[in-house]
Amino acid sequence: MNLENPKKFKMLVDQAHQVAMNYFRPISRKYDKAEHAYPKELDMLASILDGFNDGAAEAPSSAALGKRGASNDGSVKNGANMSAALGVFELCCGDTALLLTMPRQGLGNSAIGAVANDEQLQRFKGKWAAMAITEPGTGSDSANIRTTAVKDGDHYILNGEKIFVTCGERAACVVVWATLDRSLGRAAIKSFVVERGTPGMKVERLEHKLGIKASDTAAISFTDCRVPAANLLGNPEIDVAKGFAGVMETFDNTRPLVAAMAVGCARASLDRIKELCKDHLDPNYGTPPLNASNIEATIYRLEAEWEACRLLTLKACWMADNKKPNSKEASIAKAKSGRIGSEITLKCVELAASIGYGEDELLEKWARDSKILDIFEGTQQIQQLIIARRVLGKSSAELK
């Protein structure tokens, strides 16, 4: 694995950096204060993010498609997972919430890219899809989903409630996780694409949040909501042997992207604190650690942790691009980056003292925004549990 960014993505990285600095940053505080207001400035940028996926409009992590047709030519590829992560790094240096509410880049698009068949990929191409998993009383344990889907001719009837749906009000459709038969446990959970305006689907409320305020977070109810059977993603049959694995493939692609968000947000804070403390730092890193000031030693330690997060994230993306199982690596990247991202942004607020705590600086905003990146797509504790299962070779029933 080459530790440098692939040269073919240089233009993408440069473009994303320019968008972050010159487009996201200037409107960042505006939409942080105007929670639930849609950032109309993003409409003209949607096509730019489409280009991050080599022209595919599904989503940054529709690179999951590459896992299907296994290649035996022995070549090493840097594909859409890698390009998406590099783009996310840069854009989250500008504003994480604005990236999260970018049209056609929802987490539901990642689910479509991961498990949809060819006909579904074509049918939902270009649509903005949110993802609805979490329910009241069912947070990190996705297998405990209570929303039901009952077959009725050429449709499924959905009943249940979903909370914390990112872009749940703005997206054109929502990928809803529901169970076909609760008695069969995890194996019966499937995902359905429910288009906005479908009778029986209702946005109940928008949440008020600590951070990522530019991104809407919705609670959605489904009451006798009829969804075409053709909108069930992947195989409609319940495979008890495979269990929950098919649905969980989505996370193998989205978790590295969330890790990339944490890396990008932390990079913004590091760059700013280094600028504020430049008179106390050796730009050549020539000061021996024992002779370094507390500020120097702290910033250098945070930079080392940040670099580890960056490389772990790129490894998980690289494995996905090269059709290698990456569930453990995706969780490692997410766990490390989520935790360290929050540590870095909070420490930078502390180092900047009163300057970092005020609204004249974005440091306090980045600290608020970064916390969610350690929570959604699986909390820190859940990631560590997944990693332990993979390392020890135990099932979810054996290690809870």
User: How far from 158 is each of 6, 206, 229, 372, CA to CA, in Å?
Assistant: 44, 21, 11, 29
Residue 302, in any domain of the structure: yes
pLDDT value at position 144?
84
3-state secondary structure the chain: CCCCCCHHHHHHHHHHHHHHHHHHHHHHHHHHHCCCCCCHHHHHHHHHHHHCCCCCCCCCCHHHHHHCCCCCCCCCCCCHHHHHHHHHHHHHCCCHHHHHCCCCCCHHHHHHHHHCCHHHHHHCCCCCEEEECCECCECCCHHHCCCEEEEECCEEEEEEEEEEEECCCCCCEEEEEEECCHHHHHHHEEEEEEECCCCCEEEEEECCCCCCCCCCEEEEEEEEEEEEHHHECCCCCCCCCCCCHHHHHHHHHHHHHHHHHHHHHHHHHHHHHHHHCHHHCCCCCCCCHHHCCHHHHHHHHHHHHHHHHHHHHHHHHHHHHCCCCCHHHHHHHHHHHHHHHHHHHHHHHHHCCHHHHCCCCCHHHHHHHHHHCCCCCCCHHHHHHHHHHHHHCCCCCCCC
pLDDT value at position 60?
41
Under 8 Å between Cβ of 225 and 199: yes
Residue 400, in any domain of the structure: no
| Domain CATH for 205 | 2.40.110.10
Residue 73, in any domain of the structure: yes
Residue 236, in any domain of the structure: no
pLDDT value at position 400?
86
Fill in the amino acid letter for 339. Answer: R
Residue 197, in any domain of the structure: yes
Rounded CA-CA distance 208/195 in Å is: 24
Check if 296 is active-site. no
Same domain, 119 and 133: no
Joined tokens for residue 64:
């999951």
Same domain, 104 and 180: no
Last residue of a domain, one of 89, 104, 123: 123
Return the bridge partners of 258, or none.
none
Same domain, 198 and 324: no
| Domain CATH for 280 | 1.20.140.10
Asked whether the whole model's pTM tops 0.75, one would answer yes
Residue 240, in any domain of the structure: no
Residue 349's Cβ-count burial label (10 Å; 0-12, 13-18, 19+) is: buried
Fill in the amino acid letter for 25. Answer: R
Q: Which residues contact 389 (CB under 8 A, 6 or more apart)?
A: 395, 396, 398, 399
pLDDT tens digit sequence for 330-344: 999 999 999 999 999
Last residue of a domain, one of 205, 231, 257: 231
Last residue of a domain, one of 231, 258, 278: 231
Q: Which residues contact 68 (CB under 8 A, 6 or more apart)?
A: none
Residue 334, in any domain of the structure: yes
Same domain, 257 and 370: yes
Same domain, 167 and 261: no
* Residue in the block written with tokens 């749906």: 165
pLDDT value at position 243?
53
pLDDT value at position 46?
77
3-state secondary structure 178-198: EECCHHHHHHHEEEEEEECCC
Residue 154, in any domain of the structure: yes
Same domain, 106 and 25: yes
Total structural domains within the chain:
3
Same domain, 195 and 113: no
Same domain, 115 and 181: no
The domain of 12 spans 7-123
Joined tokens for residue 161:
């409630």
Residue 32's Cβ-count burial label (10 Å; 0-12, 13-18, 19+) is: buried
| Domain CATH for 50 | 1.10.540.10
Same domain, 41 and 149: no
Same domain, 136 and 83: no
Same domain, 317 and 383: yes
Rounded CA-CA distance 59/113 in Å is: 7
User: How far from 381 is each of 139, 141, 189, 373, CA to CA, in Å?
Assistant: 12, 11, 23, 13
Same domain, 217 and 254: no
Residues of the chain with pLDDT under 50: 54-70
Rounded CA-CA distance 58/103 in Å is: 11
Return the bridge partners of 65, or none.
none
Of 329, 361, 364, 377, catalytic? 377
